[in-house]
Amino acid sequence: MCGIVGYIGPQAAAPIILNGLRRLEYRGYDSAGICTVDQGGIEIRKRAGKVADLEQALHVSSMPGTTGIGHTRWATHGVPNDPNAHPHADASDTIALVHNGIIENYLTIRKKLVKAGYQLRSETDSEVLAVFIGMLYEQTGSVEQAVRAALGEVDGTFGLVVVSSREPDVMIGARRGSPLVLGIGSGEFIFASDASAIIAHTRQVVYLHDNEMAIVHRDGSYVTKTIGNEATVSAIEEIEFELDAIEKGGFDHFMLKEIFEQPNTFRDGLRGRLQLEDGNVRLGGLESVRDALRTAQRIVITACGTSWHAALVGEYLIESLARIPVEVEYASEFRYRNPIIQPNDVVIAISQSGETADTLAAIREAKMKGATVLGMVNVVGSTIARETEAGVYLHAGPEIGVASTKAFTSQLCILTQFALLLGRMRGLGQLEGRELAKELDAIPAKIQRILERVEDVEAIAREYASASNFLYLGRGVNFPVALEGALKLKEISYIHAEGYPAAEMKHGPIALIDTNMPVVFVATKDDIYDKIVSNIEEVRARSGRVIAIATEGDTHLHSVANHVIEIPETHPLLTPILASIPMQLLAYYIAVQRGCNVDMPRNLAKSVTVE
């Protein structure tokens, strides 16, 4: 959940670390800190609040030293305050570390330390690890051996970087269940939680594997080993995205930029894959499992949050086009209920980051039970991408805004192509395939048309920014879009919102309807259009305020809804893609009107790498 940066090289460390923390602040922003090593000692400055608070209050950019580590925190153990902020030092203030993850047996280790006479200054599990490494360092005289010995006794997850004033020319990184990347520059190294903090300095990176350590030296040498001290060979890979992909580019917020990037990101998800003439799809990452897909008796999709909503749309798509039964599981519940998984099942994990802890646990459970396990992720080199048998990248580029937007539509892009591929493999006709492929190819231009009318959505947002509750309703394939719309509003505006199948409104939620309740309907023209119009009438009869997302040219809805947001006509199975755009914009503009921090909503972090 947290952001980690470590630097060793010829340059002043603090400014590089500070800049890296700014780029990683979407991973956690309740406290931040920097430690540098200089003239035989370590200096730590840390503070509750955002990175900007740290910089302004403690002048960290002027800290001396060419070796250092930094951290931006999302709290797990201990409240967000100065003592609980990272970095943490050992009892002698010679070793410091930054840590992302959870040390599950920290209480046991803490008791051991207290019994040995050590005092701790925070409530965190991370400080326990720092003091433990310090104790072992006194015994071994080697920071590498001390880190290895400590991690050998640790239960839980970690991505961590360790420095020592007694070995100022060495830095150690290690990971288990929490991402850590090593950037290899010209005479310098940079550790980070993800590549966005590295790309300004180098494109050459090594993605550490679970239970792997990297030991880097100021002289430019480095080695990777298992925590058990066996040598490993880690390939050097190249960062694919450009630096401007993680800049705001003139937009007020990353979220707005990423909403406006969707015509391009959706197009990137289609490029080289969609075969218009054949009405088919080529997904190169799935070639090795074609036989398993052809004979699959059931598909299980597992995900969390926004990715789970995309999975629900995928269920409609796959069952409609390929006629294979699909189940969608919350990854956070999957492994705890002893799921029934058969060897002929295909399990698909969907995750933007590719590091979601619950989703990782779910795929490991599915692999153990013998299923074919696939991944649909956005981040190249992520753990889910490495641990699944095959998969497809989203190609959405870095998503910095905590509330997912372009990754969601990219997930729908991939799921639609996957469903079309399966359908063509299992009996879907070429004419039907061509029709869908043609409409899919037209989606980027139709998203662009929606974005050209943002002023209409912004005006609606101004009218409802003071609302306390929202209801989102949809039917069929558009029901998951209602869930996603409600989630977006909750995440960034802090307005209570619920998504429901429209037909379920009469079974309880209708009791909430009054003049103060805005209700957002996905009411596009399809074979159940008349049913959704009836649901709108039921809301209007109870004085509810209706915001309808409608197909262009639908004049009838203007007479029954208070507000109508039009989207271009498309294939009924593709309406979730287009309908999600106005919902993203509505949530964004309402949050702006309420003065909320859109890119860094309270209590949330981008990548949930802890349980």
Token digits for 19? 């800049």
- How far is the CA of 14 from the CAs of 28, 32, 199, 290, 475, in angstroms? 19, 13, 17, 50, 53
Helix or strand holding residue 32 (H, E): strand 31-38
List Cβ neighbours of 416 (8 Å cut-off, separation of 6 or more).
317, 436, 440, 573, 574, 577
One domain for residues 399 and 493:
no
- Give residue-wise pLDDT tens across range 205-260: 999 999 999 999 999 999 999 999 999 998 899 998 888 888 888 999 999 999 99
Token digits for 569? 């006509």
- Give residue-wise pLDDT tens across range 29-68: 789 999 999 987 999 999 999 898 888 888 888 899 999 9
- Three-state SS for 522? strand
- What's the CA angle centered on 450, arms 447 and 456, to 5 degrees? 160
Which string of b and e fits 97-122 if b means at least 16 CB within 10 Å?
bbbbbbbeebeebbeebeeeebebeb
One domain for residues 280 and 386:
yes
One domain for residues 286 and 422:
yes
**Domain end (from 450, 465, 485):** 450
Sign of the four-CA dihedral 368, 369, 374, 375: negative
pLDDT score, position 28: 76
**Domain end (from 187, 213, 239):** 239
544 close to 570: Cβ distance less than 8 angstroms: no
Read out DSSP for 132-149?
A: HHHHHHHHHS-HHHHHHH
Give the distance between the most distant pair of CA atoms in the chain: 79
One domain for residues 376 and 362:
yes
List Cβ neighbours of 455 (8 Å cut-off, separation of 6 or more).
none
Sign of the four-CA dihedral 77, 82, 83, 87: positive
- Give residue-wise pLDDT tens across range 551-561: 999 999 999 99
- What's the CA angle centered on 344, arms 343 and 346, to 5 degrees? 100
- What's the CA angle centered on 23, arms 21 and 25, to 5 degrees? 65
Please list the alpha-helical segments (H only) found in 323-381. 331-334, 357-368
43 close to 36: Cβ distance less than 8 angstroms: yes
Question: Mean pLDDT across the stretch 7-18?
Answer: 96
**Domain end (from 404, 429, 450):** 450
Q: Measured between alpha carbons, how far is 22 from 72 in angstroms, rounded to an integer? A: 9
One domain for residues 603 and 517:
yes
Which string of b and e fits 307-341 if b means at least 16 CB within 10 Å?
bbbbbbbbbbbbeebbebebebbbbbebbeeebeb
Over 60: is that where the pLDDT of 609 sits? no
List Cβ neighbours of 81 (8 Å cut-off, separation of 6 or more).
31, 48
- Three-state SS for 511? helix
- Give residue-wise pLDDT tens across range 142-168: 999 999 999 999 999 999 999 999 999
146 close to 133: Cβ distance less than 8 angstroms: yes
Over 90: is that where the pLDDT of 1 sits? no
One domain for residues 327 and 401:
yes
Q: Are strands 372-377 and 390-393 parallel, antiparallel or unpaired?
A: parallel
Read out DSSP for 258-305?
A: HHHTHHHHHHHHHTTTEETTTTEE--GGGGGGHHHHHH-SEEEEEE-H
- Give residue-wise pLDDT tens across range 354-409: 988 899 999 999 999 999 999 999 988 888 999 999 999 999 999 999 999 999 99
Range of the domain at 538: 453-611
Token digits for 478? 């558009």
One domain for residues 333 and 373:
yes
Which residues partner with 520 through β-bridges? 472, 547
- Give residue-wise pLDDT tens across range 105-129: 999 999 999 999 999 999 899 999 9
- Give residue-wise pLDDT tens across range 334-345: 878 888 899 999
What's the one-letter identity of residue 512?
L
Q: Considering only CA atoms, which of 284, 520, 268 is closest in space to residue 394? A: 268
**% of residues, the chain, pLDDT over 90:** 79
Over 90: is that where the pLDDT of 285 sits? yes
pLDDT score, position 242: 85
Confidence of residue 606 (pLDDT cuts 50, 70, 90): low
Q: What is the DSSP letter of 257?
A: H
One domain for residues 417 and 516:
no
For 182, phi then psi, to 5°, come to -110, 120
- How far is the CA of 126 from the CAs of 26, 87, 162, 175, in angstroms? 20, 9, 12, 14
307: domain CATH number is 3.40.50.10490
One domain for residues 89 and 183:
yes
70 close to 87: Cβ distance less than 8 angstroms: yes
One domain for residues 169 and 284:
no
pLDDT score, position 388: 95
Q: Measured between alpha carbons, how far is 535 from 540 in angstroms, rounded to an integer? A: 9
pLDDT score, position 607: 62
Helix or strand holding residue 567 (H, E): strand 563-567
Q: Considering only CA atoms, which of 349, 336, 345, 344 is closest in space to residue 378? A: 349
Q: What is the DSSP letter of 221?
A: -
pLDDT score, position 61: 85
One domain for residues 419 and 460:
no
Over 90: is that where the pLDDT of 429 sits? yes
- Give residue-wise pLDDT tens across range 430-474: 999 999 999 999 999 999 999 999 999 999 999 999 999 999 999
pLDDT score, position 536: 92
One domain for residues 213 and 232:
yes
For 116, phi then psi, to 5°, come to -85, 0
- Give residue-wise pLDDT tens across range 286-316: 999 999 999 999 999 999 999 999 999 999 9
Owner of token pair 């937009």: 251
Q: Are strands 372-377 and 345-351 parallel, antiparallel or unpaired?
A: parallel
101 close to 159: Cβ distance less than 8 angstroms: yes
108: domain CATH number is 3.60.20.10
Computed over every residue of the chain, the mean pLDDT equals: 93
**Catalytic sites, residue numbers:** 2, 606
Q: Measured between alpha carbons, how far is 56 from 66 in angstroms, rounded to an integer? A: 21
For 226, phi then psi, to 5°, come to -75, 160
Q: What is the DSSP letter of 389?
A: S
Q: Please give the tally of structural domains in the chain.
A: 3
Token digits for 400? 């910095």
Over 60: is that where the pLDDT of 494 sits? yes
For 163, phi then psi, to 5°, come to -130, 160
442 close to 570: Cβ distance less than 8 angstroms: yes
